[in-house]
Amino acid sequence: MTLTLIESAFTYRSESGGQSYYFTVVQNMNGTLGCRDMITPFGPIRDSNTQVPQFVTNDKNTAIGQVENILASTSAVNGILTFTAETSQVVTFSTPLANTSYRVQIAPEDNVMFWTTLKSVGGFTITASTTFSGLVGFDVFV
C-alpha cells in the first residue's frame, strides 16, 4: 500500500463593507499553488469572467503568500535556484530521501509556469514553460 498526499487546502474569508467572500488556496502534488472555490455574497462563482472587488484580489494574493510561508517553514529541504536563460535546473539532495512520494512547492519571482520532472530519491528537475532568467524558490515536503 502506498500513501500519497494529493493536495493541501487552506480556506480563507475576505470581508469588507459587510460583504464576505470565501476562497480556498490549494497546493497540488506537483507543488502548484492556486485558488479555487470562490464564493461571493451571491453564491459560488461559476463563470471565470466574473469580476471580484479589488480587496478580494488583494486578500487572495496575501493568502497565497501566507500559504507559501506556512509550507516553507514546514519543508524538509528548500532553496533558491538562479535560472540564467534556462528552461530547467536539477536539484540534488545532499542525503537521498527514503522514497519519491515527496511534494515540491515552486515559488518563482515571475509569472512563468514551472513544474517538477525526473523525481528520484536523489533529487528532481524544475522545468520552466519558457526560457527564464530569475530566481525560483522551492520547498520539498516528505
Quickly tell me which residue has 502548484 as its cell.
Answer: 32
Shared-domain flag, residues 27 and 68: yes
* Distance in angstroms (rounded) separating the CA atoms of residues 31 and 64: 13
pLDDT exceeds cutoff 50 at 1: no
Give the total number of structural domains in the chain.
2
The confidence score (pLDDT) of residue 3 equals: 58
- Residue 82's identity, in one-letter code, is T
The confidence score (pLDDT) of residue 141 equals: 84
State how far the alpha carbon of 41 is from the alpha carbons of 52, 75, 134, 137, in Å.
11, 36, 39, 36
Shared-domain flag, residues 17 and 49: yes
Q: Give the pTM.
A: 0.57
The confidence score (pLDDT) of residue 94 equals: 87
The confidence score (pLDDT) of residue 4 equals: 66
Shared-domain flag, residues 96 and 61: no
Tens-place pLDDT, residues 13-56: 999 999 999 999 998 777 778 888 999 998 898 887 888 999 99
Shared-domain flag, residues 89 and 58: no
Shared-domain flag, residues 46 and 58: yes
Question: Nine-digit cell at 118?
Answer: 525526473
Among 30, 49, 73, give the residue marking a domain's end: 73
Tens-place pLDDT, residues 97-139: 888 888 898 988 888 899 999 999 999 999 999 999 999 999 8
Sequential DSSP letters for 92-133: E-SS--S-S--EEEEEESSS--EEEEEEETTEEEEEEEEEEE
Q: Residue 19: which domain range?
A: 7-73
Among 50, 73, 96, give the residue marking a domain's end: 73
Shared-domain flag, residues 52 and 89: no
* Distance in angstroms (rounded) separating the CA atoms of residues 73 and 122: 22
Domain assignment present for 1? no
Q: Which residue has the higher pLDDT, 141 or 56?
A: 56
* Distance in angstroms (rounded) separating the CA atoms of residues 127 and 21: 34
Shared-domain flag, residues 56 and 68: yes
Q: What DSSP designation does 18 have?
A: T
